[in-house]
Homo-oligomer: A and B are copies of this chain.
Amino acid sequence: MPQNRICALFDISYPIIQAGMVWCSGWKLASAVSEKGGLGIIGAGSMYPEVLREHITKLKKATDKPFAVNVPLLYPDIDKHMAVIEELDVPIVFTSAGNPSTWTPWLKERNIKVVHVVPNVKLARKCEEKGVDAVVCEGFEAGGHNGKDEITSMCLIPQVADAVSIPVIAAGGIGDGRAIAAAFALGADGVQIGSRFAATRESSAHNLFKQAVVKADDTATRLTMKQVVPVRLIKNHFYERVEQAEQRCADAKELRVLLGRGRAKAGIFEGDLDEGELEIGQISGLINDIPSASDLIDRLLDEYRHAVVTLPQLGPSSPN
């Protein structure tokens, strides 16, 4: 069997990528995942440039395995983030929330591998044209900021896989090994897992936030704030205020005032479950414990293998 394309691209053992997540994925989580043979990602979206420098430096002391940094392209200090990334020889950058044309040439000139997050087929094709090495196709069920197209993983993965020849990483709704098998069956070459890693021991999220993820059921999250930037979060008091404002036709300006600043930090990092922005994916309904990242990866692989070997044989004749 040929080597998996994502393992080959990143020089890793398993095509399991831990998503870069604000206030969750610092050096502790990313180094644990990379050391285990997956790809750990430091989420730069919640870090000042000097904080990012500290996290990269600590990660490199903890593991010599490949890792990545996720940079949301709309953040104001992006030039400084990219300077840190270049200076500290980060081998792989995941870019999101922006135009893949902006930074891809600069990163490729420096021999940094580039992955861009896409919500639809059109942007996946554009990424391939612009020289991106792989795309993450992120479904409607994913936590945190999300696209406006509302395309689910089940629909997005096969259409992106058909549209581009570069490797495709599935994200959104992947909480166990069954979903990894599903993503591969749909045409993905790898998976990016967020919510499940947010509720691990090495995640830097507040314990109350992790407990809220564990308690969440299948209906606990909602994609909201669509007039500003769509975000999936656990329904809490803050969410109810947003819904009330939207029901009386509040405009984007009013919603921005209601959102204010620092709500994601308050919810995820400081554990304010009522007024914080509890960004997490819909699959949190499936998450029932807080394991170590290493144990989680062992479990995901076991579940994957079990899902694959128990697939039924359909039809009168066996496959070629």
Contact = CB atoms under 8 A, between A and B. Distances in A.
Contacts of A156: 218
Interface stretch (A55-63, A95-103, A299-307): A299-307
B149 A218 contact: yes
Interface string A174-194: 111011111111110000000
A313 B154 contact: no
A139 interface: yes
Interface in A126-182: 139-141, 149-156, 158-159, 162, 172-176, 178-182
Contacts of A319: 305-306, 308-309
B222 A150 contact: yes
A312 interface: yes
A121 B218 contact: yes
Contacts of A218: 120-121, 149, 151, 155-156, 159
Contacts of A179: 154, 158, 185-186
A153 B283 CA distance: 11
Given A1-B313, A120-B219, 4 more contacts: A14-B314, A141-B151, A184-B311, A185-B307
A257 interface: no
A285 B182 contact: no
B219 A185 contact: no
A121 B220 CA distance: 12
A266 B289 CA distance: 50
Interface in A268-317: 282-283, 285-286, 301, 304-309, 311-316
A31 to B, nearest CB: 21
Interface string A100-135: 000000000000000000001110000000000000
A314 B307 contact: no
A11 interface: no
A194 to B, nearest CB: 13
Interface string A10-28: 0001110000000000000
A181 B1 contact: no
A154 to B, nearest CB: 3
A4 interface: yes
A286 to B, nearest CB: 6
Nearest to A190: B312
Contact of A181 (B185, B248, B249, B285): B185
Nearest to A185: B181
